[in-house]
Structure 1
């Protein structure tokens, strides 16, 4: 048995075609965007953002937001 290896560009084009056909352009773009690499250093940003917070205080804020926006 022989397996034909297709170029990655060809596979990507075929996959995009199928996604667009099945999901539409907007949902295909939304789906593909979740795999794009971000930028920055999330670890540093998270430490700065939550430096004065505890898990308990973060959970309390989440719960209070849920009560405001049910």
Structure 2
């Protein structure tokens, strides 16, 4: 199948299973990104050491537990 055929079949499946309104609502959840994620990821991750990243994860988990 070509990419076009896959796209058309996917849209048909979404419309069939979700209805037109459901298909539109589903598709609105996604947007085309911009930039170069891989390059940007290295820019912000390379600037941090592992301990800093681990501490941020622990802080987020602690905050999440307090909310729940």
TM-score normalised over the length of structure 1: 0.53
Q: Structure 1 unaligned segments of length 5 or more: list them.
A: none
Name the residue aligned to 2:11.
16
Q: What is the CA-CA distance between 1:8 and the residue it aligns to?
A: 5.6
SS in 2 for 1:16: helix
Greater helix percent: which structure?
2
TM-score normalised over the length of structure 2: 0.54
- The C-alpha deviation readout for 1:17-54, integer Å capped at 9, x for no partner, is 21133242222x13xx38x5x43233332233234311
Q: Structure 2 unaligned segments of length 5 or more: list them.
A: none
Paired residues, number: 60
The structure number with the bigger radius of gyration is 1
RMSD: 3.0
